[in-house]
Amino acid sequence: AGEEIAVQEGASAWNKAGANFNFEYGGATGKNSVGRDGENSIIWKNYGGTDWLARAWRWYSFLNPKTILENDIEFNDYYLWSAGASCPPGKVDVQSTATHELGHWLMLFDLYGNADSEKTMYGIEGPGETKARTLETEDIDGIVYIYGPVLPQGASIKGSVKLEKVNPGDPEPDSPLADYSETEINVIQQGSLVKSSLSAQDGSYLIDGLAAGVYDVHYCRPGWSKVEKNNIALLVNETKELPPLVLVVGDMNQDTEINILDLLWMAAKMGLTPGNPGWEEAKIADVHRDNAINILDLLRVAKNMGVHP
């Protein structure tokens, strides 16, 4: 229980830094190993003597390395840890270590300069030290630079946007291996773009800091159905959750319809493979992801003609 509280205190230090980011506690876990499984987990495990006390793991989006898909931390239980208000000599402080490793989750790296020894992200920690519990100005500046400052309070729109299963080998919709990241969600008001965001790995999105008013929301993903939800009214500081959305493959020209025009566009690209002129534009038509545009791709899209998510 003491370790659990100490880790939460480490997360709280970053939550109070003034960046547009917030850690949320999801409860205890029974895991005893790290790995990509759809959870951000922190575990203790005895690895014997190592050259590390704890270490953070990060998994990135293949399409966008700036998108973090998952994080884990493992503490080496071979060493003596302290979760007390102070840390006795001969033990390592859980809160300090957690604060440091959570900084790695946020894309901050170790520092080793002579002037860095008091900073949370200093890469060397000794027994009995608790100084990494408190963020220094440079730690705060780093996280605010990456995530931006806290947004002013306002209304928000949230929801989820997923993709239909196209190929037999694709993960099931609720599998932690499914990746629904990078659908673009645009908030429009009177024809002008107000805010834009990308969906997370699980398809979730949140667009906040909006003024009260009436908005349209456009979901855009090349090669998939473009969807427009119109006349969404927001009150002051209201959070509105929109119904879950599943995009279907085939809207090649992004006109919100899947029809003969999309098939004709694909037919003009038939036979193209990687390395051919025009492949970069045409590759969205390779819906089976076999590095060739062929009749099978057209037949798969033809199944979705007239479908409106």
Q: From CA 5, how far away is CA 43, in angstroms rounded?
A: 14
Mean pLDDT of the chain: 94
Residue pair 210/155 in contact by the 8 Å Cβ criterion: yes
Region 270-276 average pLDDT: 96
The model's pTM is 0.53
Where is 95: in which H helix or E strand? helix 94-105
pLDDT tens digits, 112-152 = 999 999 999 999 999 999 999 999 999 999 999 999 998 66
Say if residue 197's pLDDT is above 80. yes
pLDDT of residue 154: 87
Q: How confident is the model at residue 301 (pLDDT cuts 50, 70, 90)?
A: very high
3-state secondary structure of 291: coil
pLDDT of residue 151: 67
Q: Pairing between strand 155-163 and 92-93?
A: unpaired
Q: From CA 201, how far away is CA 162, in angstroms rounded?
A: 9
Q: From CA 281, how far away is CA 253, in angstroms rounded?
A: 11
pLDDT of residue 153: 72
Say if residue 1's pLDDT is above 90. no
Q: How confident is the model at residue 279 (pLDDT cuts 50, 70, 90)?
A: very high
Say if residue 61's pLDDT is above 80. yes
Q: How confident is the model at residue 194 (pLDDT cuts 50, 70, 90)?
A: very high
Please name each of the domains of the chain with its CATH number.
2-147 (3.40.390.10), 151-247 (2.60.40.10), 258-309 (1.10.1330.10)
Say if residue 44's pLDDT is above 90. yes
Going from the C-alpha of 7 to that of each of 58, 72, 93, 101, 202, the distances in angstroms are 18, 13, 10, 10, 25
pLDDT tens digits, 98-107 = 999 999 999 9
Going from the C-alpha of 215 to that of each of 196, 272, 276, 300, the distances in angstroms are 13, 40, 41, 34
Q: How confident is the model at residue 219 (pLDDT cuts 50, 70, 90)?
A: very high
Measure CA of the first residue to CA of the last residue in the chain; give whole Å: 46
Q: How far is CA 45 from the centre of its chain?
A: 26
pLDDT tens digits, 3-39 = 999 999 999 999 999 999 899 999 999 898 999 998 9
Going from the C-alpha of 18 to that of each of 11, 148, 151, the distances in angstroms are 13, 9, 9
* Beta carbons within 8 Å of 26's beta carbon, 6+ residues apart: 39, 40
Q: Is 154 exposed, middle or buried (0-12, 13-18, 19+ CB in 10 A)?
A: middle
Region 225-233 average pLDDT: 96
* Beta carbons within 8 Å of 36's beta carbon, 6+ residues apart: 59, 69, 70, 176, 177
Region 216-223 average pLDDT: 97
CA atoms within 13 A on the CB side of 175: 11
Q: Which residue has the higher pLDDT, 215 or 1?
A: 215
Say if residue 216's pLDDT is above 90. yes
pLDDT tens digits, 155-176 = 999 999 999 999 988 888 788 8
